[in-house]
Homo-oligomer: A and B are copies of this chain.
Amino acid sequence: MIVTLAGGVGAARFLEGLVQVAPPDSITAIVNTGDDFILHGLHISPDLDIVICTLADEIDREQGWGIAGDTTECLTWLGRLGAPTWFKLGDRDLALHIHRTALLGQGIALSEITDRIRQALGVSVRVLPMSDQPVPTHVITAEGDMHFEEYFVRRRAADEVRGVRFAGIEQALPAPGVLSAIAEAEVILVAPSNPIVSIGPILALPGVREALHATRAPIVAVSPIVGGAPIKGPAAPLMRASGLEVSATGIAQAYRDFLDVLIIDEQDAELKPAVEALGIRAIVTDTIMSSMEKKAHLARVALRRHV
């Protein structure tokens, strides 16, 4: 049993490699829902959709999000009606949001809905939202407190970041299956995702960090920071605002209380001693997932000594 803590694009690509080298039904992905938000009255779960649609081989591979070949007829008309259009919603994509919202309205839990959606799309990896309760990530900026998607997509990460907060995190619970998956895992992988706004919300849920401390399974992370910059997304200002260096060493610092192994890129080989000084073993390899072979290679390295 392999558990992966996952954000969006980086995690989805990592999981694609993982299913090449381990049985998909032995893998559980615990996915960030801090980016979830309501737009046009629809419940949008960006990271769940990215993970599921990538594993279903329906993702727009160029963007890393959205559905391949999708159109935006509905969004164009929403714009004509005066609705906001800053968050790109494809027509096929909208089916996920509409269906999820309809089922939530019937009182069905997000975890149950997510399970139905991944099964409908033929995904064998078990996909768990981190929580059935909304825990929206807010970015605290010089311009005020705003939802992560507002900061990242609408305002293009242009505001000065002072911190983040996970609204409602104290009242939220890990979704059914999250803590037991961690407790029963033979290996726990932390995908190359943003440590603050992708993995951070999962770790902030009551009981998750404790479960990571309690497990005897090895915990292996892949650094999303290569050569001093994230592969994708707004990790740099968010890490800095959290007092972390924007480097593989900063990732090791973020996870030092539970991490056993950090996989860092060849470009960062000189950081191995600094990571290991934190009591975390560093493995140096090519972490750039630019092909299916390289994704599988990275997964193999992550699993090699542990299962």
The interface of chain A, by Cβ under 8 A from chain B, is 40-42, 67, 70-71, 73-78, 80-83, 90-96, 98-99, 101-102, 105, 116-117, 120-121
Q: Which residues of B have CB within 8 Å of A105? A: 41
Q: List 6 A-B contacts (CB under 8 A).
A: A40-B99, A71-B91, A78-B95, A81-B120, A82-B99, A83-B95
Residue from B70, B76, B98, B116 in contact with A92 in the complex, judged by beta carbons closer than 8 Å: B76
Residue from B71, B78, B83 in contact with A73 in the complex, judged by beta carbons closer than 8 Å: B71
Q: Which residues of B have CB within 8 Å of A102? A: 40-42, 83
**CB distance B83 to A121 under 8 Å?**
no
Residue from B73, B74, B116 in contact with A98 in the complex, judged by beta carbons closer than 8 Å: B74
Residue from B94, B99, B116 in contact with A94 in the complex, judged by beta carbons closer than 8 Å: B94
**CB distance B74 to A94 under 8 Å?**
yes
A16 to chain B, nearest CB (A): 20
User: With A and B bound together, what is the CA distance between A102 and B67 in angstroms?
Assistant: 24
| Closest Cβ neighbor of A72 among chain B residues | B91
User: With A and B bound together, what is the CA distance between A300 and B83 in angstroms?
Assistant: 38
Q: Which residues of B have CB within 8 Å of A76? A: 92, 95
Q: Which residues of B have CB within 8 Å of A98? A: 40-42, 74, 78, 83, 94, 98
Q: Which residues of B have CB within 8 Å of A80? A: 95, 120-121
| Closest Cβ neighbor of A67 among chain B residues | B77
